[in-house]
């Protein structure tokens, strides 16, 4: 994979560009993609943004979101754009399987593939150009760097700033997580000077849910959370019946995994959700508890040192047993 800086001089030539992200995109994945699209459109490129799946309702306010193609819902339209692409930007994922059913199509494309991502252990062989930097707070920060370093900072307007800011606060936990560097705050200051209305973005992301979700959270914390004090760990296990009972939609479980970390002494928090095709895991940790390695070893996943995800084809009960075994095997790290 060649350095992403090598494409900076090539940006002045308009091209057919597709931007894609991981499945079930979060604020960082969608925000970074729409921000990059906004800049490339102003430069004269033909740009299509494709999501492998649908995205949460609380992200639909983002400028440009209405033009994003859902691959699962509009595969033919997406494939037409992909076949015409000269460049494919791959944002906020570094392994093709993270794009779900879109992965085989990406693998067969002959166009130039460009990676911008901050997760660990990238599949660099799948990309022609790119940057993978695990020290960065978010892909949105990296897209901001890309825009600035390529000499196009003047193209950042209020809409682009809002998308970038959404990604930043989503992946830093509103500036809580260790990856929040001085450069992140300097970036936000620059976005404010571009007209960013930060309080409005916060309202869109955190004050934009239905009553069912709040009642669902109360039910989950009361009935589905188990604390393993001897291992400084916690688990929230959500059966499919709860999703149906409370009419849970895409994005409604966002942030649930962080709740147990507010309990004194808890270093590892895990969330497992019983989906139709598999059980989806999320992990968060404090300090020197490496949940990236934890997820890779036990749950076919990975991500960041203190935040990662995984999956399992086992039943909900069986995958919970795997978790219980895993924390026992890692007791020295957790204590």
Confidence category of residue 177, pLDDT binned at 50, 70, 90:
confident
Report the predicted TM-score, pTM, of the whole model to 2 decimal places. Answer: 0.89
Tokens representing residue 69 in the block: 């193609």
Residues ≥6 apart with Cβ < 8 Å to 154:
none
- For the cut 90, the answer to whether the pLDDT of residue 335 exceeds it is no
Mean pLDDT within 105-130 = 95
Cα–Cα nearest to 326, from 291, 277, 276:
291
What was the pLDDT predicted at 170?
94
pLDDT digits (tens, 9 = 90+) for 205-225: 999 899 999 999 999 999 999
Tokens representing residue 141 in the block: 């920060």
Strands (E), the chain: 2-3, 16-20, 46-51, 69-70, 87-91, 112-117, 129-132, 225-228, 233-238, 268-274, 279-285, 302-303, 307-312
Taking CA atoms, 238 is separated from 24, 257, 267, in Å, by: 18, 11, 20
Tokens representing residue 264 in the block: 């004194």
Going from the N-terminus, what domains does the chain have, and what CATH number goes with each?
2-206 (3.90.1640.10), 211-334 (3.10.310.30)
Confidence category of residue 131, pLDDT binned at 50, 70, 90:
very high
The per-residue b/e assignment along 101-124, b for 16 or more CB within 10 angstroms, e otherwise, is ebbebbeeeebbbbbbbbbbebee
């Amino acid at each position: 994979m060649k350095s992403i800086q090598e494409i900076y001089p090539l940006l002045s030539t308009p091209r057919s560009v597709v931007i894609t992200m991981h499945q079930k995109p979060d604020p960082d994945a969608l925000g970074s993609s729409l921000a990059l699209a906004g800049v490339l459109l102003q430069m004269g490129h033909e740009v299509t943004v494709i999501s492998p799946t649908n995205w949460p309702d609380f992200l639909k306010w983002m400028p440009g979101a209405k033009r994003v193609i859902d691959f699962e819902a509009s595969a033919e339209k997406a494939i037409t754009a992909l076949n015409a692409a000269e460049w494919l930007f791959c944002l906020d994922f570094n392994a093709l399987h993270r794009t779900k059913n879109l992965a085989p199509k990406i693998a067969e494309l002959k166009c130039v593939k460009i990676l911008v991502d901050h997760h660990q252990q990238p599949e660099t062989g799948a990309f022609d150009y790119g940057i993978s930097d695990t020290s960065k707070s978010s892909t949105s920060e990296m897209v901001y760097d890309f825009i600035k370093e390529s000499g196009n900072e003047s193209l950042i307007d209020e809409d682009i700033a809002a998308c970038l800011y959404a990604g930043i606060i989503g992946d830093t936990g509103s500036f809580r997580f260790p990856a929040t560097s001085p450069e992140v705050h300097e970036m936000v200051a620059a976005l404010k000077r571009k007209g960013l209305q930060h309080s409005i973005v916060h309202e869109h992301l955190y004050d934009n849910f239905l009553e069912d979700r709040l009642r669902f959270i109360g039910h989950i914390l009361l009935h589905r959370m188990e604390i393993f004090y001897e291992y400084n760990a916690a688990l929230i296990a959500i059966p499919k019946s709860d999703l149906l009972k409370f009419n849970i939609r895409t994005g409604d479980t966002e942030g649930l995994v962080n709740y147990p970390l507010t309990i004194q002494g808890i270093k590892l928090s895990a969330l497992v959700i019983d989906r139709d095709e598999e059980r989806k895991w999320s992990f968060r940790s404090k300090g020197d508890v490496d949940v990236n390695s934890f997820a890779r070893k036990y749950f076919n996943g990975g991500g960041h040192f203190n935040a990662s995800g995984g999956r399992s084809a086992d039943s909900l009960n069986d995958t919970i047993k795997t978790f219980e075994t895993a924390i026992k095997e890692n007791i020295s790290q957790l204590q």
